[in-house]
Amino acid sequence: MIDFNIAPYVGTEETYIRQAIEKRKLCGDGTFTKKCSDWMKEQFRVNQVFLTTSCTHALEMAAILADIQKGDEVIMPSYTFVSTADAFVQRGAKIVFVDIRPDTMNINENLIEAAITERTRAIVPVHYAGVGCDMDSINALAKKYNLKVVEDAAQGFDAYYKGIPLGTIGDFGCLSFHETKNLTMGEGGALMFQDTAYQEKAEIIREKGTNRSKFFRGQIDKYTWVGYGSSYLPSDMNAAYLWAQLESCKTIQDDRMNTWNYYYKHLKPLADSGKVELPTIPDYAQHNAHMFYLKLKDLETRSWFISYLSEKGIMAVFHYIPLHISPAGKKFGRFHGEDVYTTRESERLVRLPLYYGISEKNLAYVVKTIYEFFELKH
Ligand SMILES: *Cc1c(COP(=O)(O)O)cnc(C)c1O
């Protein structure tokens, strides 16, 4: 059986987790949390990095920092994970979905302006598959209409737009370290931003509404409840796992990129003969091999394809039923304009197994099986 995903593991995780345990300091913001956020600050040239319990929670923090209020509108693609919308729905916002571009599956930057109303407060680009959205256009619109930009960079760790790390281009950026992402800590994420003016508020929100962070820095002599907050700090044990992964970041990313390139090279002839479509990487984007997907003719072909691979012991999956056709999406959102690509493209897309350490033997078998499918049936 070839799994679709296996959580990355490099071998140094236990050592660091043991160190965290031996210190008897297991709560949030310990040594490993600091190591991880410092690493990201340096690597991504960003002023503020807060490790969180998930990307969902990083998005929630961003929605609070962006001061999203009841009745505000937030623009995002419908082709995304539920958390992108949930974080803003929690603040009482109305979600306005716009169509995607078929080449990258990202929000179509040319359709955003028409969806802006007097109530619009934020745009939430999702960097699907670690391929950047057209951030120059999005930031220009945000500037013109005085909107906040919250990047859902859950899949965008160590991927770049014109050389700038995803998650550091808008007002706020949110990463995920869920076990299905390139690097992991089991469950976890990070909130990043450049504007230091948000630092204190972010600390308070993350620390249950208290100024405990200031207290720990010795800036005040007791801490107290100063505003709204929740508990968004991960345990230092989880951060220890992530630290092992960050230290081996290049190894993990190179391995994934080799897999991605292997698929691309070996499936290119199928694309040239019109049987499948392969992912497009725009010139401005440097992706991170987060996923490798194919697009097939239609929904029916995709169902055959997935069950054929499954019979042969290969797990291939699809995801994201467009949010605007889900029950909650109908309740909390509306689609602006026409759904030309969101539903159609989402029905054709299938993801192939891709994880750190997948063997070339397994990759060859996946490719061979895909060719078999097209010889037999199409
Ligand atoms: C994985 C993912 C999330 C959620 O990340 P968690 O860390 O599991 O909360 C949000 N948005 C997108 C696009 C994702 O892929």
| Ligand 1 centroid – CA 371 distance (Å) | 32
Closest CA to 260 of 365, 351, 370: 351
Residue 218 buriedness (CB in 10 A; 0-12 / 13-18 / 19+) = exposed
Q: Which residues contact 146 (CB under 8 A, 6 or more apart)?
A: none
- Give the closest residue to 296 by CA, choosing from 347, 343, 335, 330: 347
Residue 95 identity (one-letter amino acid): I
Q: List, run by run, the mean pLDDT of 10-residue segments along the chain (378 residues).
A: 97 98 94 98 98 98 98 98 98 98 98 98 98 98 98 98 98 98 98 98 96 89 93 98 98 98 98 97 98 98 97 96 97 98 98 98 98 84
pLDDT for 299 equals 97
Phi, psi of 258 (to 5 degrees): -60, -40
Nearest CA to ligand 1 atom 2: 154
Q: What per-residue confidence (pLDDT) applies to 216?
A: 86
pLDDT at 377: 59
On whether the CB atoms of residues 133 and 125 are closer than 8 A, the answer is yes
Given this structure, which CATH class describes domain 249-377?
Answer: alpha beta
| Axis crossing angle, helix 249-272 with helix 360-377, rounded to the nearest 10 | 20
Q: Where are the domains of the chain?
A: 13-247, 249-377
Please indicate whether residue 134, judged by its CB atom, sits closer than 6 Å to ligand 1. no
How far is the centre of ligand 1, averaged over its atoms, from the C-alpha of 175 (Å)? 8
Mutate to test the pocket of ligand 1, among 155, 319, 321 (most ligand atoms within 8 A of CB): 155
For ligand 1, whether the C-beta of 84 sits within 6 Å is yes
pLDDT of residue 11: 98
Is the shortest distance between the CB of 176 and ligand 1 below 6 Å? yes
* pLDDT at residue 92 in the model: 98
CB 362 within 8 A of CB 4: no
CB 52 less than 6 A from any atom of ligand 1: no
For the Cβ of 152 lying below 6 angstroms from any atom of ligand 1, the answer is: yes
**Would you say the CB of residue 108 lies under 6 angstroms from ligand 1?**
no
Q: Which of 51, 60, 178 to mutate to test the pocket of ligand 1 (most atoms within 8 A of CB)?
A: 178
- 358 CB near ligand 1 (under 6 Å): no
Closest CA to 165 of 196, 194, 185: 194
Q: What is the pLDDT of residue 2?
A: 97
pLDDT (0 to 100) of residue 199: 97
* 13-247: CATH, from 3.40.50.2300, 3.40.640.10, 3.60.150.10, 3.30.70.580: 3.40.640.10
CA 164 distance to own-chain centroid? 16
